[in-house]
Amino acid sequence: MNVLIVEDEKSLAREIASFLEKENFLCELAFTGMEASEKIAVNLYDFVLLDLGLPDYDGLDLIKEAKKLESEASFIIITARGAVEDKVRGLNLGADDYIAKPFSLLELLSRINAVARRKFNIGTNDINIGKFLLQVQPRKLFCEGKEVDLTRKEFDLLQYLVLNHDKVLTRQQLYEHIWRNTLDDQYDSNFIDVHIKNLRKKLNFYSATPWLETVRGVGYRVIMENKNSTSQKC
Amino acid sequence: MLRLKVKLALFNLFSKLAVTAIFIIFMPYLIGRINLRQIDNDLIKKREEVISIISEIGIEPFIEADSTDTFGNYNILKEEFISIEPNLTGDEINQIDVSKRLIDDDIIEYRVLSYSLVINGKSYILEVGKSLESISQTNKNIRNVMLIFLFFIITVTFLTDFQYTRRLLRPLDFIINKIKTIATPSTYDRTKIKTSTTDFVRLDETLTELMDRIEKLFAKEKEIAVNISHELMTPLSVLRSKLENIMLTENLEPEIEVKIEECLKTLYRLQSLINSLLLIERIESRQYLRNDTFQLRDVLHEIIEELSPIATDAGININHQLPEPLEIHNANRSLIFSMFYNVINNAIKNTGKGGVINVESIPDKNTFTVCISDTGKGMTEEQMKNLFTRFKNGTKNRDNSTGIGLAITKTIADFHDILIRVESQPGKGTKFYFIFSKNS
């Protein structure tokens, strides 16, 4: 998939690109609004990651321009301005999602994938982990045909770990993803540990979970035996 | 403390009464003087009449020559008399004064006009008198009429004055109401008040100007907050992305992984701190809308549900008794959620294994109170003083806490006009009361 990263902070733009390229995205960079405007007019993108705080352009104008050109690109707004009005204005103009700096790259990827699933209507795919089967839509977990009863938070946690398999996720990354709708981030590392503990207890009742690893001092990781069959990439 | 219109009315009343009192004190004297003047004129007129009669018919009919050469005539009620007698001293007399006369065993006070006249070479004294008793009676009557009249005048003018000042000051009440009912300067009612009093027009204009100025200042503050957030968040984002990318490198040494995670943790603390300060800033500059309507009970249930795994893990029991539904209007649900969430989360942190947290609702006539109590370690008075002060509430050094959660709670409560009361004793737990006013 083609992604245009519109961000005036060059080092951040490059960092996002280097991360997304590893996830098999094709990335182009635009450091100014003018540059971005030209690129959107000429090229076809699946995604535009758009920083609202450009020095020469009101980022929201770029969305208007793109919509006028009937561009197919999905916009994900990146902003340091957490103001509520910005968010509402952006989404009203047709942006697909909104992420505030400083964001986690994994969270950004998860948002891109969520938009992609909506857009290309993929997401009914099931994921096998050990003896478990995770359905992204409808959000369900089965073990050898029996449904495992999980709370919403437990399911979110498991799904995020599974979708980012073979990567270590820190407690903050997990917390931010699961509690992203709360206004103030009164983060507590204990929260994730408790939920993982409960999750393990529930899963172990059905089958052992050696694939759900604790990485000492860092966080948690899900290890997939068969990487190819569960690929989320488009 | 008195209302302006009451003060004016009272002053009005007192000044009227004072003037009346002075008038009442001097009235007898004045009336007396006026009456005396009237009587004197009367007496002079009578004298002229007598003189004209004498010059017509001579003095003889009045004086019996054989006896004492005197003449005296009273009317029946002894109110007036006329007398003529020889002037023995021969002095010229023309005077009016008060003297007592004995008439038929009665001593009566008269105002007497004495006048010497010469007829046929003989000198006489003519005296015309009028009883003062009749005068004092007149005085009394006049005074009574005056008093009734004054009382009537005072009552009528006082009432009309009071009504007028009330009418006059009505724009003031209107302006006060305008200020009282606004939540932010931007919602200030800028329609001009209807009045013909220049002072009120000026007051109204000055207030409108002031509101405009405050609104501009708020906007400026908001701008600064936005700028700071932008300036700080971008470098933070760069650092975070770089660290996360390193973390994703394959076959990373476990030690390095741990170090990077520690860096990320510190970065996150910084981010969370800035976000919390910005949140307070945004609430205080009223960037959040208050247009949600919801059941308070639902919010509390949601929080308890979210936190119960943590509480259960810590061996704490959360009880909730929320039988009374309360619909909240004109509030921000997310903010109210945060407000309670921070307090209940705090309660969990400060309560040891086997502890209990109670969430209750206490309905009252005009208020609705939510009480969150724990059996935790409680606080000293010194700790309670700084409870809502940022970074000063003693939680700062605890792992991962930014010491700002309760400051956020307080800011949100203030924003929604919710009163917070805290009761606590070391070792005996803490009680937080959130008092909602029912009419808001």
pLDDT, tens digit, 9 for 90 and up, residues B163-189: 998 888 888 888 888 888 776 777 788
What pLDDT is attached to residue B241? 94
Which residue of A83, A183, A189 is in closest CB contact with B226? Answer: A83
Residues making up chain B, counted from first to last: 440
Average pLDDT over residues A20-47: 93
Q: Which helix (H) or strand (E) holds A124?
A: none
Q: Which of B227, B236, B241 to mutate to test the interface with A (most CBs of A within 10 A)?
A: B241
B99 contact A CB<8A: no
- Averaged over B98-105, what is the pLDDT? 79
Cα distance between residue B235 and residue B237, in whole Å: 5
Place of tokens 């010194």: B382
Q: Which of A84, A191, A217 sits opposite B310 (nearest CB)?
A: A191
User: φ and ψ at A220, to 5 degrees?
Assistant: -130, 155
Mean pLDDT, range A30-50, rounded to an integer: 92
> What are the tokens at A79?
């902003």
The pTM score is 0.65
Structure confidence at residue B55 (pLDDT)? 85
pLDDT at A97 over 80: yes
Q: How many beta-carbon pairs below 8 A join chains A and B?
A: 137
ipTM: 0.87
**What integer pLDDT is reported at residue B428 of this predicted model?**
87
Lay out the sheet containing A212-215: strands in order across: A169-170, A219-222, A212-215
pLDDT over 70 (residue A227): no
Which of B229, B237, B251 to probe by mutation at the A interface, max A CB count within 10 Å?
B237
Close Cβ partners of A140 (under 8 Å, ≥ 6 residues apart): A134, A147
* Predicted confidence (pLDDT) at residue A123 exceeds the cutoff of 80: no
Predicted confidence at residue A234, as pLDDT, reads 39
Question: Which residues in chain B have Cβ-Cβ distances shorter than 8 Å to A183?
Answer: 279, 334-335, 337-338
pLDDT at B68: 63
Instruction: Kindly tell me if the per-residue pLDDT of B400 is higher than 70.
Output: no
Residue of A151 and B87 predicted with greater confidence: A151
Shortest distance between the Cα of B427 and any Cα of chain A, in A, equals 24
Please judge whether B257 and A18 are an interchain contact, meaning their C-beta atoms are less than 8 angstroms apart: no
Q: And the tokens for B67?
A: 């006896």
Each residue's pLDDT tens digit, A41-87: 999 999 999 998 888 888 888 998 888 888 888 999 988 766 667 77
- Max Cα distance, chain B (Å): 166
Phi, psi for B94 (deg, rounded to 5): -150, 90
The reply to whether B233 touches chain A by the CB within 8 Å rule is: yes
If you measure CA to CA, which chain B residue comes closest to A167? B248
How do residues B50-68 score in pLDDT, each as one tens digit? 888 888 887 777 776 555 6
Q: Which pLDDT score is estimated for A124? A: 55
The answer to whether A188 faces chain B, any CB pair under 8 Å, is yes
B142 vs B421, residue with greater confidence: B421
Report the pLDDT value the prediction gives residue B53, as an integer from 0 to 100.
86
Average pLDDT, chain B: 85
Residue B169's contacts (CB-CB under 8 Å, 6 or more residues apart) are B4, B5, B8
Region B153-162: what's the mean pLDDT? 90
Shortest alpha-carbon distance between residue B309 and chain A (Å): 7
Q: In chain B, what residues touch A85 (CB-CB under 8 Å)? A: 287
Q: Quote the percentage of chain B above a pLDDT of 70.
A: 95
Band (A229; pLDDT cuts 50, 70, 90): very low
- Confidence at residue B269, expressed as pLDDT on a 0 to 100 scale: 85
Report the distance separating Cα A61 and Cα A36, nearest Å: 11
Rounded-to-integer distance, Cα A32 and Cα A74, Å: 19
Q: Which residue has the higher pLDDT, A165 or A123?
A: A165
Give buried/exposed letters for A199-225 (b at 16+ CB in 10 A, else e): beebbeebeebebbeeeeebbbbbebe
Q: Which residue of B has its CA nearest to A106?
A: B244
Q: What is the pLDDT of residues B268-280, one digit of tens each?
A: 888 888 888 888 8
CA triplet B286, B292, B298: central angle to 5 degrees?
125
Inspect the interface and report whether the beta carbons of A18 and B236 lie closer than 8 Å. no
Q: Enumerate the residues of chain B whose CB falls inside 8 A of the CB of residue A105.
A: 241, 244-245, 248
The region of weakest confidence among A25-34, A46-55, B138-147, B367-376 is B138-147
Residues of B in contact with A184 (CB under 8 A): 275-276, 279, 338, 342, 405, 408
